[in-house]
Chain A
Amino acid sequence: MGETSTKTAGNGLSGWLPTLIAAGLFAYFATLVPAVAEGNVLRLVYDWVPSLGISLSFLVDGLSLTFALLISGIGTLVMLYSNTYLAGHPQYARFALFLTSFMLSMLGLVLADNLISLFVFWELTTITSYLLIGFGHETEKGRRSALQALLLTGAGALALLAGLILLGVTAGTFEISEILAKGDEIRAHALYLPILILLLAGAFTKSAQFPFHFWLPNAMAAPTPVSAFLHSATMVKAGVYLLARMHPAFSGTDVWLWTLTIFGAVTAVFASVLALRQTDLKQALAYTTLMALGTLTLFLGQQSGYAITAFVTFLIVHSLYKAALFLVVGCIDHATGTREADILGGLGRAMPITAVAAAVAALSMAGFPPFLGFIGKELKYAGALAVASEPMLVAGAVLLANALMFAVAGVVAFRPFWRRADGELPKSPHEAPWQMLAGPVLLAAAGAIFGINPDLLQSTLVNPTVATFLGDPGEAKELKLWAGVNLPLFLSIATFVLGFVIYLLHRPLRRGLADLDARSPNFDRGWDNVLAGLVAVSNWQTRLLQSGVLRRYLFTVFLTVVLALGGTILARGVWEGAPDFSDVAARNWAILLLIVAGAAVMVVTRSRIAAVAALGVVGIGVALIFIVFSAPDVAITQLLVETLVVVLVAVAMLRLPFLDPPGQSDHRPVDALLAIGVGAVVTVTILAVIGTPFDTRLTDYFETASWPEAFGRNIVNVILVDFRALDTFGEIAVVVVAALSAYALLRTTVKDKKQ
């Protein structure tokens, strides 16, 4: 998406309106901070589907407010940035709509207090991010990446839906705040494990945990501002948010602890190693996002105050520096036309403001004092050391990831600006306009300000957020730059040393990693194989089932009926004994005879018109039965439909070629067997149904209610147009669609014939 014009405006209404919406939302959420800091929890409830216990309820507590502020705040800067980055893009209005919808879905997701509305917003983020990732839909890569993200997170979301429903049923409520209060009950429930697995499947796919990590770097096909937004605060953090939201109800068991710790640690280390291997700055950043997600997941496994404080702090740190760095990379791309780490160099003089913003953000990422990143890193070590069972293992993983992070920060934000350029850049670099600088500068500055003055975050966001996990803001650990000489400080120093060594050696390391990567299994290629396998299976079963021969379709359908119904009858033994025919009236026997005779003629005759007429006789016989049992409405309908069918079939069939020319294979014996089978099964079923006592509750209701409530004496019609009017509406819609489709189909063949 590097190709943009240098115009600074020109997107009109769609250019500044999203920025204003996001800024307005940010201002609104900022006004809620004092109330939440005092420990209040705000709830807003609208009825949605009250009969199913689904409401559109929103909850503002520390956790959701922190997320909401990050989403709307970074959203504002990203929208402002995009307006210039994509200035004059022919589809900018579409882009602005996608981005705004995405932001709103994400806000809905973090604020939702009902499992079902949470899921609806969750899927809205899936769809809107699909549209955003696939914004460059002219390229094969863009389409593939978007589809991959959609399929993978969509599949996870299906698991999530099942998990949420199970959870809601288990807890007896779909309101999240009520469920969280029942933590002990849920953890002790027999369904705890299945629910947990399903929720984790949703969260891990969305937040790209190993082994579902590969879609996220591919999602870099999106325009850079989108990546900044998706990676810093939003889409990929949705899974982490879900885990955080469910933490009070689910954490504390061994399964929770070990699953999150292991998956988090593996993702963090694996991703930071891969981050070093990338030469595209954006790809490198994408892998560091994976590392951050892994780390966040890792800390969510714990329950200690240190781990949770580390989680909250690192969440904020990461959002600030990651958005800033993505926007910086966008500026570099915009100014030079390339993102290749090996080509870029010497930009510091041409782009001083960008360079400073990048440096500040990168120092926060690398965890230098006095930036917020340093506090975050110290807390991470403290949190890792507070792990009860394997502190050194967890701390080791965090150390390795942090050191690699340090090196990547140097590669992304230091080398392009300050090392000497080896070769020619595609474009001569220039400073970006202020709309594009605002984001990196403000976000980097925020990291510095919060680092120097951590009290600003402590009471406003960190304490209330920790309280949503542990119930008590007092559990939050203090954010401070100087915590004395302790083990975390030594680990920090070790990080810097190790990180610096890796940075110096990163080029040979990268080559080694590239070799290793080429020989190790590739998940992205694996994904292609899975998709190809899926297509092969569907091709195979389509050839098997959809032969295109009507005879065979009907045969399959009726055979299924016989096997399903007959099997059930045999297995359950519903046979009620021989029915009693003694009180059947003579005229009913006559009607029966008529129907049987009609059917017999139809089977035996070789004349098509006679068969159609005989079929009509069968239908009229059925209509007679309706009349005898006083259902005139149904009888009239049956008669009319029968008439129409005879007319239509006669019109169509008279023009068809003759059936079964002599000499061709005769299907009749097999068909006859099947027909007898269907007849027998249906007869036994009807006898069994008649044998059971008839439940007259509905009949009684309609009989008593149809005149007083719907002012009609014809119950059938009253049901059709009043009690079940919605059903009828659905049916007539089907009738219209069927007629139009048939019309279109017949029209096409007419045209084909004429050509």
Chain B
Amino acid sequence: MNSIILRAGTRYLVGILLIFSVYMLLRGHNEPGGGFIGGLIGATGFILYTLACGTAEARASLRIEPQVIAMVGLGIALLAGLGAAVFAEPLFTGQWLFIGETEDDKGLPLSTVLVFDIGVYLVVFGSILTLVFAMEEEI
């Protein structure tokens, strides 16, 4: 598709969608969202970019091959699950660290669960883009 309006609009939309996808990822544990939804939104952003500017440009701006992203995500998710072994707990048991915890407030929660969710995000993001790029290029 060769539409200047779409191209111009896309440049702004992609950034917004990516930020929004990270926001959805991070709020997922308490509000609707999470790695799966975040990954889908992020992928949607890049698909929009692909439709507007073509796969070559989309690949160039992504810098990393999408299948690499997917596999790295899978590795991160696995590591997050294996992390429990360090604390001698069954695999995939969530490990939590609350920074600045007080009586009333949990502070900033950091956890292997979040790492796992980031892995899910990258898997969904990378896998969908792998598919879309391949299909677009094939046709």
Contacts and interface: CB of A to CB of B under 8 A. Distances in A.
Interface stretch (A173-181, A551-559, A686-694, A733-741): A733-741
Contacts of A750: 137-138
A711 B132 CA distance: 36
A749 interface: yes
Determine which residue in B32, B70, B124 has the highest number of CB atoms from chain A within 10 A of its CB, and name it: B32
Determine which residue in A640, A644, A721 has the highest number of CB atoms from chain B within 10 A of its CB, and name it: A721
Contacts, number: 139
A739 B94 contact: no
Nearest to B134: A746
B52 interface: no
A713 interface: yes
Contact of A717 (B33, B94, B135): B33
Contact of B34 (A720, A732, A747): A720
Given A712-B29, A726-B92, A721 B34 contact: yes
Contacts of B74: 732-733, 736
Contact of B134 (A632, A728, A729, A743): A743
B127 interface: yes
Contacts of B78: 729
Interface string B8-44: 0000000000000000000011111111110011011
A733 B119 CA distance: 11
- Size class of the contact patch on chain B: 35 or more
Given A722-B94, A729-B77, A732-B120, A712 B36 contact: no
A636 interface: yes
Contacts of A655: 139
Determine which residue in A651, A652, A655 has the highest number of CB atoms from chain B within 10 A of its CB, and name it: A651
A746 B33 contact: no
Interface string A626-649: 000000110011001101100110
A457 B112 CA distance: 60
B48 to A, nearest CB: 9
B127 to A, nearest CB: 4
B37 A633 contact: yes
A736 B124 CA distance: 8
A712 B114 CA distance: 11
B82 to A, nearest CB: 10
Contacts of B111: 711
Contacts of A632: 32
Interface string B44-66: 10010001000000000000000
Interface string B75-111: 0011001000000000110101000000000100101
Interface residues of A, number: 41
A358 B131 CA distance: 68
Given A711-B29, A714-B30, A740 B130 contact: yes
Determine which residue in A643, A655, A711, A735 has the highest number of CB atoms from chain B within 10 A of its CB, and name it: A735
Nearest to B133: A743
Nearest to B51: A647
B122 to A, nearest CB: 9
A742 interface: yes
Contacts of A640: 37, 40-41, 44
A738 B127 contact: yes
B81 A636 contact: no
A717 B109 CA distance: 16
B109 to A, nearest CB: 6
Nearest to B66: A739
B106 to A, nearest CB: 7
A403 interface: no
B6 interface: no
A732 B77 contact: yes
B47 A647 contact: yes
A711 B96 contact: yes
A296 interface: no
A739 B127 contact: yes
Name the prevailing secondary structure of the A interface residues. helix
A718 B29 contact: yes
Contacts of A672: none
A721 B131 contact: no
A725 interface: yes
Contacts of A718: 29
A713 B109 CA distance: 13
B113 to A, nearest CB: 5
Contacts of B47: 644, 647
A639 to B, nearest CB: 9
A425 interface: no
Contacts of A728: 77, 116, 120
A738 B73 CA distance: 15
A266 B97 CA distance: 70
Determine which residue in A637, A711, A749 has the highest number of CB atoms from chain B within 10 A of its CB, and name it: A711
A343 interface: no
B67 A722 contact: no
A717 B128 contact: no
A710 interface: yes
Contacts of B134: 742-743, 746-747
B43 A720 contact: no
B32 A636 contact: yes
Interface in A536-586: none
A746 B138 contact: yes
B22 to A, nearest CB: 15
Given A633-B34, A728-B120, A743-B134, A721 B127 contact: no
A724 to B, nearest CB: 9
A722 B113 contact: yes
B34 A717 contact: yes
Contacts of A736: 70-71, 73-74, 123, 126-127
B128 A739 contact: yes
Contacts of B96: 711
A532 B130 CA distance: 42
21 contacts: A633-B32, A636-B37, A644-B40, A647-B51, A655-B139, A710-B94, A714-B28, A714-B32, A717-B28, A717-B29, A721-B113, A722-B94, A728-B77, A728-B120, A729-B92, A735-B70, A735-B127, A736-B127, A739-B130, A739-B131, A743-B131
Interface of B: 28-37, 40-41, 43-44, 47, 51, 67, 70-71, 73-74, 77-78, 81, 91-92, 94, 96, 106, 109, 111, 113, 116-117, 119-120, 123-124, 126-128, 130-132, 134-139
Interface of A: 632-633, 636-637, 640-641, 643-644, 647-648, 651-652, 655, 710-714, 716-718, 720-722, 725-726, 728-729, 732-733, 735-736, 738-740, 742-743, 746-747, 749-750
Given A721-B34, A739-B127, 18 more contacts: A637-B37, A644-B40, A651-B139, A711-B29, A714-B34, A717-B28, A717-B33, A717-B34, A721-B35, A721-B116, A721-B120, A725-B116, A729-B78, A732-B73, A732-B124, A736-B74, A736-B123, A740-B70
- Per CB-CB distance, the 3 closest pairs between chain A and chain B, nearest first, are A739-B127, A725-B92, A640-B40
